[in-house]
Amino acid sequence: MRLQLIKEPNLIFGFDQKTIDPRDGLALFGPYEKLNPYTLRVGLIGSNNCIEDYKSFVQQINKPIVSTQTKYNITKSLERQRPSFPGFEAIFDIKWPNNPETNIEVDQKQIKILLANKNRTIRTSSLVDLFLERIIEFQKKEDNKLDLWFIVVPYSIYESCRPQSWGKDIAASTQKYIAQAKLGQTSLDFPGEEDFYNSISSLTDTAADFHHLLKARLIQEGVKVPVQLIIDRTLKFRDKVYNKKFDEYLKAHFAWTQSTTLYYKLGKLPWKLGDIREGVCYLGLVFKKLNDNKNVCSAAQMFLRDGDGSVFRGNIGLWESSKPYEFHLSSESAEQLIGMALDDYNEKWKKYPLELFIHSKTMFNDEEWEGFSKAVSQRNANTNLVGILIKDMNELKLFRHPSSQIGNYGTLRGTALIVDDSEAYLCTKGFIPRLNTSNSLEMPRNLRVKIIRGDARIETVLEDILALTKLNYNSCIYGDGIPVTLKFSHKIGSILTATPDWKVDTRQFMFYI
């Protein structure tokens, strides 16, 4: 057992320059993949009054936002902890016009009527239809090519269309009727029964989450333009819950986050990993229970060394094991899921990866590992397959004992307690010298990392995991606590299971975030 400090990974930006903080790299060198000269074409959709708020938002995000905090009428700089935002065009060298390419208004009165429905699932589905229909209608009539849909969601929808929001679920008796009807076991006919069945059957397995359901429906309907959802309050640089105006440092942080997410959705990488080996890729397994609380949907997220991400939806089955919250694939389903990832990699690079690291929150059993291995052997791929268990644990915490309070900054991010050649604990949250602060509000938990299948150096595995905490284009920060392979597993699983009868194979990661 020994302690080791894992070096903070580099990121690559414009002109192949390297830094460890994405905000430093973008401000100094611009994005890794350039798009200039270019003018952004945005389609805006929201309630009646959002156009002026959108114009104000774009005006502000195109200007520098200096990172300061005001307390008790005293203003201080937070430049080191929360770097200032130089302005969208100054960073990416592309224009974002104040006026959208098209503006679609959704009637506020109609929204209010649909929000009054006491059934949470029907309420959410009806509001998703309201927005979705306007987008599809525009696509059919207009020839305008858009880069992005900017969807402004009223706070009332955010508040009322979430899994734990007010209202009822679909009654158990109705769900039972639908299940029997699908099996052809209903015998009682009544006027309008077919219309009733058609209208309600699609809702029994539908999510009551506006964000996830809208993303899922957009993908299902084949909408090829990425979407950016934003709450109307945050569009005004205000807290979405308390409606409190952001301090300048929070405005800067929000501008960084929105800008990098948007740029990634244009199909360009803001940055990529700097010290990752050739021929390596990473796969995060996703399991999500369906609404019937029995079947489980399997999926995988693949990330390449250049930072590009893909999503693969696997089979649905009874994957739950005897242990609670632990899922295992059959050999056939495991082979199919890894096979899709290998074929996707081969399609892009014209060869198979040399190393494939599969990240999971649970152990791998013999049957599913046999399926993973079979997918490699059937393609005659010279791929070293390695299974890694990654769990956010509270069972061990690392403390520093400084000689004086002057150096009492807590455990450094990147500190690793290496137990043996296959197991370690990694501190991904901790004190960061560049920021002169910690990215954790309390004594940080550590990731338990264990090589449970295949062969690899534990130090290499830890270096890769720390690097993957810096690949979140949805949040422009120094580093996350969880690698991107597992960071979005719940959200992606929720989108993949938000609608019944998933029929499309949309793999680009940008459509899911």
Residue 351 has pLDDT above 90, yes or no: yes
Per-residue confidence band for 318, with pLDDT thresholds at 50, 70 and 90:
low
Q: What is the model's pLDDT at position 182? A: 45
Q: Which residues pair with 38 in a beta bridge?
A: none
The most distant pair of C-alpha atoms in the chain lies apart, rounded to whole Å, by: 82
Q: Three-state SS for 88?
A: helix
Strands (E), 245-350: 272-273, 280-289, 296-304, 309-317
Residue 290 has pLDDT above 80, yes or no: no
Domain boundaries, the chain: 34-164+208-265, 172-201, 272-511
Rounded to the nearest integer, the mean pLDDT of the chain is 86
Q: Three-state SS for 511?
A: helix
Helix (H) or strand (E) holding 68: strand 68-71
Closest by Cα among 338, 327, 322 to 371: 338
Q: Three-state SS for 300?
A: strand
Written as one string, the DSSP assignment of 409-471 is --SBTTEEEE-SSSEEEE--SSEETTTTEES-SSS--EEEEEEEES---HHHHHHHHHHHTT-
Residue 451 has pLDDT above 70, yes or no: yes
- The amino acid occupying position 164 is Q
Q: How far apart are CA 206 and CA 125, in angstroms?
A: 8
Give yes or no for a contact between 465 and 483, defined as CB atoms under 8 angstroms apart.
Answer: yes
Q: How far apart are CA 460 and CA 392, in angstroms?
A: 19
| Residue 100 CB partners (closer than 8 Å, separation 6+) | 42, 43, 44, 51, 54, 150
Written as one string, the DSSP assignment of 437-453 is EES-SSS--EEEEEEEE
Q: What is the model's pLDDT at position 203? A: 47
Q: What is the model's pLDDT at position 292? A: 62
Q: What is the model's pLDDT at position 201? A: 41
pTM score: 0.89
Task: Work out whether the CA dihedral 462, 465, 469, 473 comes out positive or negative.
Answer: positive
Q: How far apart are CA 228 and CA 148, in angstroms?
A: 7
pLDDT tens readout for residues 266-280: 999 999 999 888 999
Q: Three-state SS for 253?
A: helix
Q: How far apart are CA 67 and CA 442, in angstroms?
A: 23
Q: What is the model's pLDDT at position 233? A: 95
Give yes or no for a contact between 410 and 380, defined as CB atoms under 8 angstroms apart.
Answer: no
Task: Work out whether the CA dihedral 209, 212, 217, 220 comes out positive or negative.
Answer: negative
Superfamily per CATH, domain 34-164+208-265: Response regulator (3.40.50.2300)
pLDDT tens readout for residues 189-223: 544 444 443 444 444 446 688 999 999 999 989 89
Give yes or no for a contact between 10 and 414, defined as CB atoms under 8 angstroms apart.
Answer: no
Closest by Cα among 417, 410, 413 to 427: 413
Q: Which residues of 194-223 are buried (b: 16+ CB within 10 A; e: fewer)?
A: eeeeeebbebbbbbbbbbbbbbbbbbbeeb
Closest by Cα among 74, 292, 80, 50 to 150: 50
Per-residue confidence band for 256, with pLDDT thresholds at 50, 70 and 90:
very high
Average pLDDT over every residue of 284-294: 75
pLDDT tens readout for residues 369-416: 999 999 999 999 999 999 999 998 878 888 777 776 666 677 899 999
Residue 29 has pLDDT above 70, yes or no: yes
pLDDT tens readout for residues 75-127: 999 999 999 999 999 999 999 999 999 999 999 999 999 999 999 889 999 99
pLDDT tens readout for residues 3-17: 999 999 999 999 999
Average pLDDT over every residue of 256-274: 95
Closest by Cα among 467, 487, 492 to 478: 467
Token reading at 4? 């080791």
Q: What is the model's pLDDT at position 103? A: 94
Q: What is the model's pLDDT at position 372? A: 94
Give backbone dihedrals phi and psi of 282, rounded to 5 degrees, phi first. -130, 140
Domain 272-511 has CATH 3.30.420.10: yes
Per-residue confidence band for 444, with pLDDT thresholds at 50, 70 and 90:
confident
Residue 478 has pLDDT above 80, yes or no: yes
| Residue 200 CB partners (closer than 8 Å, separation 6+) | 170, 174, 178
How many residues does the structure list for the chain?
513
Give backbone dihedrals phi and psi of 28, rounded to 5 degrees, phi first. -85, -40
Per-residue confidence band for 283, with pLDDT thresholds at 50, 70 and 90:
very high
Residue 298 has pLDDT above 90, yes or no: no
